[in-house]
Copies of this chain bind each other. A is one copy, B any other.
Amino acid sequence: MAQERSTRKTHGMVTAQDVANEVGVSVTTVSRCFSETGLVSEKTQERILAVANKLGYSPNIAARALASRRSRLIGLMVDDFNDPESLDLFRFVSSEAQRRNFHAILLNTYRERSETSSGSIEAGMLQQVDGLLVTASYFSDEMIARCARQDKRVVIVGRKSGHPDFSSVYCDNEDGAAQVADFLFDQGVQRPAFVGANPKATVTLERRSGFVHRIEQLYGIQPIVRETGINDYNKGFEVGREMLTLPKPPDGYFCTTDLLAISLSDALHPENSGLSDHSPHVVGFGNSMLSRLTRYRLASVALPMEDMVRTATSHLIDTLGDAMTGPERIVFPCKLTHGV
């Protein structure tokens, strides 16, 4: 039987040792009981759980992380805090992580006020998490190298993985964009335009190419292409105004996000444009809350955000345990929706 060691309640925390003493087993057994390895007899399991509950014990995460080299923390890299779509990301990542007994840690990669030493922040953070969930955000080469070196699992969500080692879970951006081109064509649009956010982001590239190609097929011409740089209401509004200054403004727009679609739509609205006879079609992407505002009747490419995000999170967690499970690409379909 377990030898009872002194119970030093050093800091008011109940430890596995305390539980072990009370039950009359070793810490090892208590540990195994909580790591759900299934190597504990049911009877002991019950006794331990009962005592643990009575004492209010729960395993110390830091100690566990140190000993096992797994923190049960996944990093969520985000740099877009403008689009309400990100809310779904936060929501479902955290929900799914918690469901699997993990937690999501927020890694804000948006560099405001020229933050200092963000490099070292990243380094410290990286070895703190078991894996990384990367969104549309920028993912530096240095970061990629570091992940590879530390053998961190990475899952890209929302766009195709550009890296051979990383899985990605995304929707068929090209196809969605092509659907928009078809729609605009059907609506009799004469001069289609594309408005993207960050021209370097993969999502933008994917949606642009899908759209442009189909437009070329349908119209035999290239659409007007603009990028706002960032996904932000004011920037979108500005670009909208700018479009109006063209000799022949477009009469159909595909914006890569609902936020841009909304802002553009506002800029083009008679009230702001002064052109009461001009009411172009505007289509967004994401089918977020914004596209559901009845005032806009915005057409938007719907994608199964919840499914996508939960799948990505779960997939990341799944791959943590196993040795080299090759990278996967899980793709969801998306579908243009419009009130018409």
Residues of A in contact with B (beta carbons under 8 Å apart): 11-13, 56, 58-63, 65-66, 69, 71, 73, 76, 78, 81-82, 84, 86-88, 90-91, 93-95, 98-99, 101, 103-108, 110, 112, 115, 118, 120-121, 123-125, 127-128, 149-151, 233, 237, 262, 265-266, 269, 271-272, 289, 292-296
Contacts and interface: CB of A to CB of B under 8 A. Distances in A.
A127 B294 contact: no
A94 B272 CA distance: 36
A91 B81 contact: yes
12 contacts: A61-B127, A62-B128, A90-B90, A94-B107, A95-B112, A103-B105, A104-B105, A233-B293, A266-B295, A271-B294, A295-B295, A295-B296
A162 B151 CA distance: 46
A108 B127 contact: no
A237 B34 CA distance: 46
B81 A103 contact: no
A264 to B, nearest CB: 11
Given A106-B103, A289-B82, A293-B266, A128 B61 contact: yes
**So how many copies of this chain end up in the complex?**
2
> Lowest 7 A-B CB distances belong to which pairs?
A62-B65, A81-B91, A94-B108, A62-B66, A94-B106, A61-B128, A58-B123
A228 to B, nearest CB: 15
A296 B296 CA distance: 10
Contact of A115 (B12, B99, B289): B99
Contacts of A149: 56
Interface centre among A86, A91, A237 (most CB of B within 10 A): A91
Contacts of A108: 90-91, 94-95, 98
Nearest to A59: B124
A127 B60 contact: yes
B58 A120 contact: yes
Given A12-B151, A266-B294, 7 more contacts: A65-B65, A81-B87, A84-B289, A86-B90, A103-B128, A265-B295, A271-B294
Contact of A88 (B81, B90, B124): B81
A127 B58 contact: yes
Contacts of A65: 62, 65
A179 B188 CA distance: 49
Nearest to A259: B289
Nearest to A269: B295
Interface centre among A78, A87, A88, A110 (most CB of B within 10 A): A87
Contacts of A112: 95
